Amino acid sequence: MFDLSSTNKKVMISVIGVTGKYVVQPEVIEKHIKTLNGLSSCMLWKSEIRAFQKVLDQSSLRVTGTDDKKKVAHFQNLILYYGGEVIDSLRKKLRDHENRLAKMLESENESDIQYYKEHDAIIDELDTFSNQFKEFRGELIEFVEK
């Protein structure tokens, strides 16, 4: 909202969407961009998971100690969990969320409170996983390099 000094009124500034059909609030565009960034992150993580699996497979051939074998098993479990469940689940939530946004825009109703609550929860979940994945990546790289 912008304060119009001469009238002391606040007005909502809208932008026209690419199709010219919808009036889209900047906040909605921001949420859409965050969702698209989340989908891109999921694609990147899936790619990294495949690369990590190859690296772990190669590293496991050189591992002889019990502790290191346990670490390999731990990393393998995380790769399976992240790659087979967590990332896919996040990606589905993000796609469903984008579909909800599309329906909201089709009905020209940007006041769907549930969409905004859902968005914040999904982005929080995405941020939490992103931090976990960074930690996992660092630990795996450290393990492989030693």
Domain residue ranges of the chain, discontinuous segments joined by +: 26-145
Q: CA of 100: how far to CAs of 29, 31, 96, 97, in Å?
A: 14, 12, 6, 5
pTM of the predicted structure, to 2 decimals: 0.75
The percentage of the chain sitting over the pLDDT mark of 90, rounded to a whole number, equals: 51
Specify the pLDDT at position 101.
80
Mean pLDDT of 7-26: 46
Q: What one-character-per-residue DSSP string does 49-96 give?
A: HHHHHHHHHHHHTT--SHHHHHHHHHHHHHHHHIIIIIHHHHHHHHHH
Q: Is 100 helix (H, G, I), strand (E, B) or coil?
A: helix
Query: Per-residue pLDDT tens for 47-68?
Result: 999 999 999 999 888 888 999 9
Please tell me which residue, 110 or 13, carries the higher pLDDT value.
Answer: 110
Mean pLDDT of 4-20: 41
Q: Which residue in this structure is represented by tokens 């495949």? A: 50
